[in-house]
Structures are given as structure tokens and as C-alpha cells.
Chain A
């Protein structure tokens, strides 16, 4: 089977006035369709850089990114990629409906078919009654859900989440990860999620990629499998293997205070 995403020998260097910073060094991995990949690594190791290269926002210094067998053209945003940032970035002056259709508007794909798709997403995930409300009238969790629908509206094959939940308080965060996990599985999306939270990374992922300190290379890739029929981010935390995974990844991250 063809890999949905293939990252080959990726190198990222930033040129600053006071010198060169190597953020990524020889990063290679593949992602299959429907997989959920978590990426953890120390602060400032280059996780965001990695995602923004996959999204086509930043040009790699060397290496290739191949999506469905096609090499990514740097600087050109790939339409099969959806990118969710840390804050929801909903535009306060637009209604929820006009916020979630922003991507369609920009890509000139406001077809009745797409609008119906978005409307269905809003209905399925409990935001339909709020479609004419403004972001300031929504709770933090609902805002994050709206941001996810905005990303899903362009029907990306791969979803990139860069600490998408870290702006939320702990309880909302647990609820939202639960939500997002369910939505992503239901829509059968492939996802790459960057997080600082090791339990969160384990609870959602099929595989966890651990990056080293800068310049980041891949320290290890862990396959996470709980043999639970209806696994959710919350209930798998009770599984005995959860703590095991946590310890391995914690050791590998080698955090020095």
C-alpha cells in the first residue's frame, strides 16, 4: 500500500542575523491512511517547524515530503492538508458559519455540496444552533470544535495539530480531546499531533514519535496499542499498559530540569 505521507531526510536550518540554527536533522518517517501520530519533543526542538514544512508554509533546507506519491511543492499550500494551530483563531467579526467556511471561501470552493458537508458537520458536532452566533458567544471547547470544523471543511486528507489544545484549561482539554478523537475517527482522518503532554500523546495516538533536543532527530517511534474494542483517549488512560508507555517515553525524552 502506498504511504499517505512520506518524510525523507528532512533538514531545517534557520538563518538569523546572529548565526545559523539547525532545527531538524535527517527526519524520516511515514504515515499510513487513518493513522493518528503524536509527536513529542523538548521545547524548541523544531516540532512546529516540522509541521509547517509538511503544510507547505516553510521550505525545507533539504529533504523531501511526499504526499500520496507526489512530492510537495514548497511554498505552495497543499489542499489535502489541514492545519490547526494552538489558538482557535476564530475571527471575531464573522459568524460561526462564516468562520467555518473561511477555508472554502479562500479556496473558491463554496459549492452547495461543500456547504452541505459543513452544515452536516455543524449539526453532527452540536454547533448548528450557534451558526449565526459570534465566536465571543461560545465556550472555549465549542470554539475549538468550530476551529476543527473550519479545518475539516476543506476536506483535508491529513490533519496537522500543533498544540491545538494547550490554550484550554485541563478539564475542557480532556473533553475536547475526547471530542476531537471521536470526530477524527468518525471522519476517518489521518492526523499528526504535536503536544507537550505525554499522557495526551499516548492517549490519542497509534504511534508516538519522540524527537531529541535541537538539532532534532528521531529518538524513537513507539507503536501504541491497547487491545480495547472501544478505545477513547479517556478510558485508555486506565489501561495497565498506559503507565508503561509513559515511562518509556519519559525516559527517552530525557528531561533535565
Chain B
């Protein structure tokens, strides 16, 4: 029914990667060779990745030193490093904290609120039919366009930034979760109905547990989108946070600061995503240790 566009497994579900490790079996020479080749290949890929990174950094540094590129505009790895070294001078940690706080609050409210709304819409077929066109329009609207309105309504501060993050991440959660709920295996639904399950029991015994994957997929999307919302909000509000630092650095031509902030931002984004992945693994193992 609803198409959120993000639901088509962009984050491919990594299932059964360590399932068929036949440890109990005797290992044949062919298997050993296969495993060795596999490991070799993995190492090759990792090595090339590291090499590429170092190469680019070196190229950047050398061209900057030789004056081929203007380090004032393009910055330069050593200068970025220096910026990191003077973290306390730039209040980088403070801004990092602000951004993390806003992202986490936006993420939590967005995930919980979005899921609750999805449950309500699943519960009442009528409601979901009524809201369908509105949700579709809201989903395709670029939420950043609402920025000025949000600032006027809730004031230019942390709240506006969190609302911005919510606006961006919540609708996707609603659509994603609802899509999962609606597509629950109808045979399983029929099975619990034959025991006379009511709507609440149907939800708690079948619909929700079979959508744990959906939930985590939408959390993974959500954490990224919350960060997008927070940075966009900080651009607009311009008081604190990594987004503010980037805008400020750009305005006063401190490109080292901009680059350092961007690097920190990408590390934060990766860590947050990884945290969701770890949480997912932990919860999945808790619910059903066999998988």
C-alpha cells in the first residue's frame, strides 16, 4: 500500500553469514584451500582500501605543499591534524556533544513516535486509508523547506533543531513500519485467529515480533536521517553544534575547521549506525538464540 521508497532493502539484511560454518565436520583440503583463498581476498580488499586512503591523503598533502592546490581553500591533512590537536581552543568537543545530544533525542522520539503512529494506523484500517494520501505527500516533501517555519514556531534553539530532525526521520519510520505490519504473513495471522486472538494479542504475538527486522531497518535509516535533520537545523539556527561549526568555518574561511568538523561528523555517523547494528544483533540473539 504505502511506498516509502526506502523499504527496498537498501541496507541489505546480513543474514546467515556465520550460519553454515561447518565446524564439526572434518576439514577437507579443498575446504582449506577455499578458506585460505577467501581470507586472502579479504586481506587484499582491506589492503587496497587502506592504500587508497593513504594515497589520497598523501596526494592532497604533497600538492598542497608544492602549491598546486591552494591550501587556504582546499585545506591540507597536516593542518586538519593541527586543528584536532587544538580541540579545546575550538570548543570542538562541546559542539560535538551538542550535535550528538540533539541527534539522539530526535532519533529516540522519532523512532518511538513513528512506531506508535504506525501501530495506530495498522490498528484501524479506516485511519490508515484516511491518512494515506497525506503521508505520501509529507513523505515526498523536502522537509528542510519547513526550516524557517519551524524556527518561527518553536524558536531558534535546540528545540527547533530536534523538531527538524523529527520532521525528516519520523514519516519514514511510520511508512516503513506500517508497510511491515501490513505485510505480516496472513497464514500466521489466521493461525492465531483460530485460537480466538483479539487485535492486541495478534499484534503482540505475531505482528510485532515478525517485524523486528523491519524495526531495525527503519532505525538504521532513522539514525542517518536524524543526523541530516540536526545538521540542517544547525545550519539554520547557527548557535552550536557541528553544523554551526561548519557554517561558521566556511564564513570566516577557516577551511581546516570545516574539514575537521566534516571528518568528525562522518565518524559520528558511522559510530551511531554501528551502535544500531550492535543493538540489533544483541536483541536478535536475546529473542531467539538459535539464529
Contact = CB atoms under 8 A, between A and B. Distances in A.
Interface of A: 55, 57, 76-77, 79, 81-83, 85-87, 89, 91-94, 102-103, 105-107, 133-134, 136-137, 154
Given A85-B187, A93-B287, A134-B290, A79 B196 contact: yes
Nearest to A162: B190
A103 B195 contact: yes
A55 B290 CA distance: 34
Interface string B187-212: 11011111111000100011001101
Contact of B195 (A86, A106, A134, A137): A106
A173 B67 CA distance: 78
A79 to B, nearest CB: 7
B20 interface: no
B192 A106 contact: yes
A57 B194 CA distance: 7
Secondary structure of the A contact surface, majority rule: loop
B197 A106 contact: yes
B216 to A, nearest CB: 14
Contacts of B191: 83, 85, 89
B194 A55 contact: yes
Nearest to A88: B191
Nearest to A83: B194
Contact of A91 (B193, B206, B289): B206
Contacts of A103: 195
B290 A102 contact: no
Contacts of B210: 91, 93
Contacts of B40: none
Contact of B205 (A79, A82, A91): A91
Given A133-B290, A136-B291, A102 B192 contact: yes
Secondary structure of the B contact surface, majority rule: helix
Contacts of A137: 290
Contacts, number: 59
Contact of A106 (B201, B212, B288, B290): B201
B194 A82 contact: yes
A107 B198 CA distance: 10
Contacts of A107: 195-196
A93 B209 contact: yes
Contacts of B192: 102, 106
Residue from B191, B193, B205, B206 having most chain A Cβ neighbours under 10 A: B191
A253 to B, nearest CB: 26
A69 B187 CA distance: 30
Contacts of A87: 187
Nearest to A135: B290
Given A106-B205, A107-B195, A91 B291 contact: no
B127 to A, nearest CB: 22
A77 B205 contact: no
A108 B77 CA distance: 66
B288 A93 contact: yes
25 contacts: A55-B194, A57-B190, A57-B193, A77-B193, A77-B194, A77-B195, A81-B194, A83-B191, A83-B194, A85-B190, A85-B191, A87-B187, A89-B185, A89-B188, A91-B188, A91-B205, A91-B206, A93-B287, A102-B195, A102-B205, A106-B196, A133-B290, A134-B288, A136-B291, A154-B195
A81 B193 CA distance: 12
A134 B290 CA distance: 7
A101 to B, nearest CB: 11
A105 B212 CA distance: 21
Contacts of A57: 190, 193-194
A153 B116 CA distance: 34
A89 to B, nearest CB: 4
Residue from B188, B196, B205, B209 having most chain A Cβ neighbours under 10 A: B196
B187 A91 contact: no
B280 to A, nearest CB: 14
A153 to B, nearest CB: 10
Residue from B191, B193, B194, B291 having most chain A Cβ neighbours under 10 A: B194
Nearest to A98: B205
A86 B187 contact: yes
A65 B191 CA distance: 21
A87 B185 CA distance: 11
Contacts of B190: 57, 85
B187 A89 contact: yes
A133 B291 CA distance: 11
A146 B185 CA distance: 19
Given A92-B288, A93-B288, A106-B196, 14 more contacts: A77-B195, A77-B196, A79-B196, A82-B194, A85-B190, A89-B185, A89-B188, A91-B205, A91-B209, A102-B195, A105-B205, A134-B288, A134-B290, A137-B290
